[in-house]
Amino acid sequence: MTLNNAAARPATLNPSAAHAEPALRLSLTLEALFYVGLALLALSLRLVQLGNHPLDNTQAEQALAALRAVNPQVAGETLVADSPLTYLFNTISFSFMAQGNVAARLPVAIGGALLALAPLLWRRYLNPLPPLIMSLLLTISPVALLSARTMSPVTWTMLLAVIVPWLVLRYVETRRPDWAILATAAAAAMILLADPAGLLALLALAFGLAFAWLTADPADPDLDLPATVRELARSWPWANGGLAAGVVIAVVGTGFFFLPSGLTSVGNVLWTGVTGFVQRQDGAPVAFPLLVALRYETGLVLFGLLAVYRAVRQGGFFERTLAGWFLGGVVWSLGYAGATAGHALWLTVPLCALVGLSITHWLTERADFMWRVPSWSVTAHAAITFILWMAVGMSVLMLGKRLLLDVPGQITDLGTLVDKLTAGFYSRSTANTDWIEFEEGIGTWAYVLGFIQQGLLMMSLFTVMIGVLFFLVGSLWGARTGARGLALGTLAFTLLFSFGLGGRAAYGIPGDPREYWYLDPVTDDVDELRATLREMSLRDTGEPRLMAITAWIPGDGDSGALAWALRDFLNVTFVDGVGPEVATAAVLMPVIFPQPRMGADYVGKDLIIRQAWSAASLFWKDAIMWFYRGDSQIKPVTGEAYMIWIRKDVYGVEQVTEE
């Protein structure tokens, strides 16, 4: 954007130029258009269908903490949030929007879009291309996408983790105290206001700096990190920075001083962070963030490890800092018991930065002086490699379909199938009636094995073509050019595959326990519960929210997903059990046997709130299906069922028959 003052033009050209108003001109570069496109893409991916999935217990507790502070009519006890930043923004969204799933998730979703664009801050230090690539990787990252859409407060932590070192670097560069004050306030917010493990993320950043210094060349006279740190500590405006941090904590914790009780959430962040060293989420495996990253970011992790190796061996200080940051995240992923799926961002953010630098290196480094390499060689090789990998992927999908659908389910021994496939070549003619027996009474038609062999042949052929293309490009323009084209095309394919996994988790069927990201998902029967209660309330009171409801929710009490589903019903009573004293218009309770006797006759409807499924039920064919499609032959079963009982006069019947 430039300002053009018409008064500066010669008077002979325009006699009235001296009185002309300044004209505002917009100047858009291609880079700016790319960032606009990325911003729109990041917002679209994080906001589309945002309210479709019901809130699980963890999300509901965060939302109810803010909603009950804003709306005292919501039934239930006051809750303390684990993320003051989420609490503050939720109080704002609930004050101006419909108090539903979208308003609950919107602040963190917007924070996720800001995280995707945050590398733009580092443009002045990294040149234009690397931050653009980093932003693209974060925009389509499944972990970043799911964290933003599931209200993970780690999104705030990692956004601040990008901002804090940038503010510190601005202070080092300019020595202006305001940068240091902002850095202090942002670091305090990262520790006390974002999520309970925010301090660990900051320590991982500090370890990254120490790692870069420890792996530096001792003969480098320009690198004296201890002296730089001591000098910064002496010049740092600690008093003003501490005052700014205190003001930020007070303002955020109290919701701009409208909710003084909100300061208890700051203490809760510290307490939850400490107890997280010994308390693990129900159902969470050891090293949960690391496993989540491997599941949803397979390609990024693979190429990120290569980038870490390169950074340690020959990278500069910034690259080694990123490598150390990633290694610090790995340590916390292994050792911090309270880590959630969202804490996979500890690994994803530094890996996106490292891989972004690697891609920049592949695209822009000058060719070897021994080879005359065209400027388009790497991208062309990458494009053809990507197409070939897509062909390999399609071959694998078709092969998987044959294995899953055409091979009898009783054949669970992979070794037996391999023996039959290698015993000879089979005809693919469906007219061939030869029967291949695996064991007594179990077998398949010969043409099925023929099609499986064809799939294996096609997959192998396309894979060999990728290798042949690499050697062909290497013979023309050098092995380095071939390696970069192969790496770029392979990375693009793996990113597309990972994006498919993340998209299915983000937009797929709610409540599916086979989706690795979710530990305690609830089904869309929660929405059916709300619809049923609204309809019955209209019958009973003429209003959709006034019916008297008794809710017995063991375990979750008044803080979980079902309590969130009852949020806008004004006459809800949460109880610890039901008996003859209960005669309200509606009763919500778990399915138990024998059914407790209540003080009126009711008509019941069962709801499956949660489903159960175990990965231990997978065998080799199921594992293939689960890996690329999130499906399995053994389907989820009912895990937690509830009954919604409607009093017979409200339902509109005179006599209730027992079944």
d(CA 301, CA 285) in angstroms, rounded, equals: 19
pLDDT of the residue at 659 = 55
Least confidently predicted of 240-249, 451-460, 512-521:
451-460
Least confidently predicted of 26-40, 127-141, 463-477:
26-40
Kindly tell me the sign of the dihedral angle through the C-alpha atoms of 83, 276, 209, 110. negative
Among 652, 632, 385, 431, which residue's Cα sits nearest to residue 536?
652
Neighbouring residues of 111: CB distance < 8 A, sequence distance ≥ 6? 89, 148, 155, 156, 159
pLDDT of the residue at 412 = 66
Under 8 Å between Cβ of 105 and 92: no
Q: Which amino acid is at 658?
A: E
Among 603, 612, 604, 605, which residue's Cα sits nearest to residue 640?
612
Q: What is the mean pLDDT of residues 400-420?
A: 72
pLDDT at 470 over 70: yes
The better pLDDT of the pair 43, 78 is held by: 43
pLDDT at 134 over 80: yes
The backbone torsions φ and ψ at residue 439, rounded to the nearest 5 degrees and listed phi first, read -150, 175
Sketch the domain layout of the chain as residue ranges. 30-47+80-285, 377-477, 525-651
The better pLDDT of the pair 425, 657 is held by: 425
* pLDDT band with cut points at 50, 70 and 90 for residue 616: confident
The better pLDDT of the pair 628, 11 is held by: 628
pLDDT at 188 over 50: yes
Q: Let me know the angle formed at the C-alpha of 264 by 261 and 269, rounded to the nearest 5 degrees.
A: 145
Kindly tell me the sign of the dihedral angle through the C-alpha atoms of 626, 629, 633, 638. positive
* pLDDT band with cut points at 50, 70 and 90 for residue 136: very high
Under 8 Å between Cβ of 38 and 139: yes
Question: SS3 sequence, 503-522?
Answer: HHHHHCCCCCCCCCCCCCCC
Q: What is the mean pLDDT of residues 248-258?
A: 84
Highest averaged pLDDT of the listed ranges 57-61, 434-438, 456-460, 597-601: 57-61
* pLDDT band with cut points at 50, 70 and 90 for residue 368: low
List C-alpha distances in Å: 365 to 375, 472, 480.
10, 21, 10
Which residue carries 């670091």 as its tokens? Answer: 187
Q: Encode pLDDT of 47-88 as tens digits.
A: 999 988 899 999 999 999 999 989 989 988 888 888 999 999
Q: How many CA atoms lie within 13 A of 150 on its CB side?
A: 26
Q: Encode pLDDT of 325-366 as tens digits.
A: 999 999 999 999 999 999 999 999 999 999 999 999 888 876
- The chain-wide mean pLDDT, for the chain, equals 87
Q: Encode pLDDT of 558-599 as tens digits.
A: 888 999 999 999 999 999 999 999 999 999 999 988 888 898
Relative orientation angle of helices 198-214 and 264-275, to the nearest 10 degrees? 60
The end-to-end CA distance of the chain, in Å, is 74
Q: What is the mean pLDDT of residues 241-261?
A: 85
Write the burial class of residue 3 (CB in 10 Å: 0-12 exposed, 13-18 middle, 19+ buried): exposed
Q: Let me know the angle formed at the C-alpha of 648 by 646 and 653, rounded to the nearest 5 degrees.
A: 130
pLDDT of the residue at 370 = 63
Give the pair of three-digit tokens for residue 172.
């080092």
pLDDT of the residue at 264 = 84
List C-alpha distances in Å: 378 to 366, 474, 488, 651.
11, 11, 8, 69
The better pLDDT of the pair 436, 164 is held by: 164
Is residue 645 classed as helix, strand or coil in its secondary structure?
A: strand
Under 8 Å between Cβ of 577 and 552: yes
pLDDT at 467 over 90: yes
Which residue carries 């945050």 as its tokens? Answer: 118
* pLDDT band with cut points at 50, 70 and 90 for residue 268: confident
Q: Which amino acid is at 655?
A: Q
Neighbours of 54 (CB within 10 A): 24
Among 200, 193, 187, 188, which residue's Cα sits nearest to residue 82?
193
d(CA 411, CA 633) in angstroms, rounded, equals: 13
pLDDT of the residue at 89 = 95
Beta strand 2-4 with 23-25 is antiparallel
Percent of the chain beyond pLDDT 90? 58
Among 204, 51, 34, which residue's Cα sits nearest to residue 132?
34
pLDDT at 511 over 60: yes
The backbone torsions φ and ψ at residue 22, rounded to the nearest 5 degrees and listed phi first, read -60, 140
pLDDT of the residue at 6 = 35
Neighbours of 23 (CB within 10 A): 10
pLDDT of the residue at 282 = 85
* pLDDT band with cut points at 50, 70 and 90 for residue 7: very low
Q: Which amino acid is at 44?
A: S
Q: Tell whether pTM > 0.95.
A: no
pLDDT of the residue at 56 = 92
pLDDT of the residue at 371 = 67
